[in-house]
Amino acid sequence: MTWTDEELVARSISGDADSFNELIRRWERPIYALAYRTIGREEDARDVCQETFLRAFRALQGFRGQAKFSSWLYRIALNLCHDWIRRERRTPVVQAPEDVDLMALAAAAGPSESVEDLLARKDLTRAVERAMALLPDEQRTAIVLKEYHDLTFQEIADLVGCPLSTVKTRLYQGLTVLRRELAKSGGSERPRLRSVAGRTS
């Protein structure tokens, strides 16, 4: 039988350690990916991921189900990421794990890529990483949650605690900056992001 997140939370509160372990198995990868895409450092992202579940476990009694469990976890993780950025006073190095395709922001790979295409994709990936690092935290967070984690505008608004219109503005402004920065990297990259920069739904 497959339990919902909320059922696993209820069982965990009742003292079933296996249920919380299942929640960790279910959400560890997305939370790590969120942390890594936000701060860009593997070891620190792992620390944030572990601390997220530790804090969630300690605060589990206070989870009332007013938001999805995943949204609650995301909020904890994002707060920890922002704390890390403020504490370290570093600019995030926005990059993706090897098994995550940053090119989703620009264009999907074709089934028969030439060597030239592959090199161009790698160059564009680096350009996207550099451009993402230039964005303010709010814009970068909106892009990460929408483009990488496929959250709706309303879910992002609830998660970060701002109006729906603000989320849309942040996403549009962030994607506009990405488009502009990629345009500086070379003409062949420009149209590949233009289609994404116009995607606000």
Domains and CATH numbers, the chain: 5-88 (1.10.1740.10), 107-197 (1.10.10.10)
pLDDT of 175 > 60? The answer is yes
How far apart (Å, rounded) are the C-alpha atoms in residues 20 and 134?
Answer: 37
With left for phi above 0 and alpha for psi between -120 and 50, is residue 92 left, alpha or beta?
beta
Is the pTM higher than 0.75? The answer reads: no
C-alpha Rg value of the chain to the nearest Å: 18
Task: Give me the pLDDT at residue 164, please.
Answer: 92
The per-residue pLDDT for range 72-98, each reduced to its tens digit, is 999 999 999 988 888 876 555 554 434
